[in-house]
Amino acid sequence: MFTIGVLASGKGSNLGAIINHVKSGFLKIKIGVVISDNPDAFALEIARANGIEARYIEPGRYRTILDPEQEKKYVSCLREHGVELVCLAGFMRIIKKPFFDAFEGRIINIHPSLLPSFPGLEAWKQAIDHGVKFSGCTVHFVDQGIDTGPIILQAVVPVLEDDTPERLHLRIQEKEHIIYPLAIKLISEQKIRIEKRRVLIDEY
Amino acid sequence: MFTIGVLASGKGSNLGAIINHVKSGFLKIKIGVVISDNPDAFALEIARANGIEARYIEPGRYRTILDPEQEKKYVSCLREHGVELVCLAGFMRIIKKPFFDAFEGRIINIHPSLLPSFPGLEAWKQAIDHGVKFSGCTVHFVDQGIDTGPIILQAVVPVLEDDTPERLHLRIQEKEHIIYPLAIKLISEQKIRIEKRRVLIDEY
């Protein structure tokens, strides 16, 4: 069965959504392993509670990237578990070239804005501060830029007059939990083609 | 009556939409003058055909800005006609500081993307090439950046799998013709407040 690995640093709400869609039968995939750079990530608990292999792998001495030696362990662990697609789900570190090369074209991420608007951290807060009337979320392939890879799916969320960053973030997450599992389904069923940087989807 | 001036370089489809909304009574404003930097702009013909003062004012020797001496004539002409709000509608030149200062906070523009994505030229083509799944249009106050001012209204347009830049542009324009007159209405009725760079709209 098509096997994914999930990398998460935090509470794992997207992991939870993916698991629910596996249970419902919408996703016919296996979650081979969940890895975190944070030993206290709730994502690891969610994985264990659902009988999924959960690993904490030390990130090393840096804050925004994995220590190169440690990054190798991430790659080995994913390979050991037969991972065909790496899904970043609130993973707070940038993937460097060796990891990227090991899974080129097979790493995806979910970002809480309508990219290319608001890449980087706290995109929902950026959206509020900028005063946009619509934001949303984006599933994209990971390339070596920050939130710059080809876009697989997006969903739109209106920004309300009285929105706070927190409220907007919650409404964006509801859409994330729909489009991230859908993107994984499309990839697992080989329904996606890339032309230049446009991602085209066969009928589903 | 609240008086606007329209600056247009091209075919004037947004001018046409504004005129239609004046005729229908949706907009209770006067279009004091339409000015173009292009003597052959169809926008001038539309204005004349509707009994609106239409002026060609030579832009001068530059391509992307108005010659400073000529820019003064634009400002004088707008003042002569009692213009309270300057509406850029496909005006292909950047407003410089003296013009900007003369109408500060009273210049608006319509841009064919969901800003801050895709500022600048041919935003619909940028959207197709980038592979976004949604684009749209934005009415914003003009500041000294390029398409960076506070956002008044936006509308979303899905990008279809088989879209060409031209087809997407046409669907975006349909939305422009709705939100640009609406933004003018809100400003003319003083229903807009700016907090930092968020534009808040009183109930309408």
User: For chain B, what is the domain count?
Assistant: 2
Tell me if chain B has a CB within 8 Å of the CB of A156: yes
- Res. A146: pLDDT tops 90: no
Q: Does B87 lie in the same domain as B63?
A: yes
Are residues B133 and B169 both part of a single domain?
Answer: yes
In the structure encoding, which two tokens stand for residue B67, read together?
């010659």
Residue A204: per-residue pLDDT = 58
Please check whether residue A131 touches B, CB under 8 A. Answer: yes
Asked if A1 and A95 sit in the same domain, the reply is yes
Residue A91 has pLDDT above 90, yes or no: yes
Q: Which tokens is A4 given?
A: 């994914």
Q: What does pLDDT average to over chain B? A: 95
Looking at the structure, do residues A94 and A5 belong to the same domain, yes or no? Answer: yes
Last residue of some domain: B48, B75, B104? B104
A202 band by pLDDT with thresholds 50, 70 and 90: confident
Residue B204: per-residue pLDDT:
58
Interface mutation target, options A198, A202, A203, chain B, most CBs of B under 10 Å: A198
Cα separation, A154 vs A140, in Å, equals 9
Answer whether residue A140 shows pLDDT above 90.
yes
The CA–CA distances, whole Å, from B112 to A144, A159, B169 equal 29, 19, 8
Over the stretch A2-60, which tens digit does the pLDDT of each residue have?
999 999 998 999 999 999 999 999 999 999 999 999 999 999 999 999 999 999 999 99
Q: Check CB contact under 8 Å for B161 and A200.
A: yes
Give the predicted TM-score (pTM) of the model. 0.94
B149 alpha carbon, distance to own chain's centre: 13
Are B35 and B6 within 8 A, CB to CB? Answer: yes
pLDDT value at position A147? 87
What is the model's pLDDT at position B202?
A: 87
Query: Of A104, A120, A137, at which residue does a domain stop?
Result: A104
Give the distance from residue A153's alpha carbon to the nearest chain B alpha carbon, in angstroms.
7
Which pLDDT belongs to residue A17?
97
CATH of the domain at A186: 3.40.50.170
Q: How far is it, in rounded angstroms, from Cα B171 to Cα B113?
A: 12
Q: What is the pLDDT of residue B79?
A: 98
Are residue A142 and residue A97 in the same domain, yes or no? no
Q: Look up the domain containing B58 and give its range.
A: 1-104
B117 and B93 in one domain? no
User: Do B11 and B96 share a domain, yes or no?
Assistant: yes
Nearest chain A CA: its distance from B6 CA (Å): 25
Segment A77-85 shows an average pLDDT of 98
Is B49 an interface residue toward A (CB < 8 Å)? Answer: no
Report the alpha-carbon angle B26-B32-B37, nearest 5: 115
Q: Which residues of A touch B191 (CB under 8 A)?
A: none
**A23 and A97 co-located in one domain:** yes
Chain A to chain B Cβ contacts (< 8 Å)? 65
Q: What are all long-range contacts of A193-196, with beta carbons under 8 Å and residues at least 24 apart?
A: A194/A141, A194/A150, A196/B129, A196/B131
> Same structural domain for residues B48 and B33?
yes
Last residue of a domain, one of A53, A79, A104: A104
Is the domain of B95 the same as that of B169?
Answer: no
Q: Are residues A116 and A189 in the same domain?
A: yes
Cβ of residue B196 closer than 8 Å to a chain A Cβ: yes
Residues A74 and A24 in one domain: yes
**With a cut of 50, which residues of chain B have pLDDT below it?**
none
Residues B128/B163, Cβ–Cβ less than 8 Å? yes
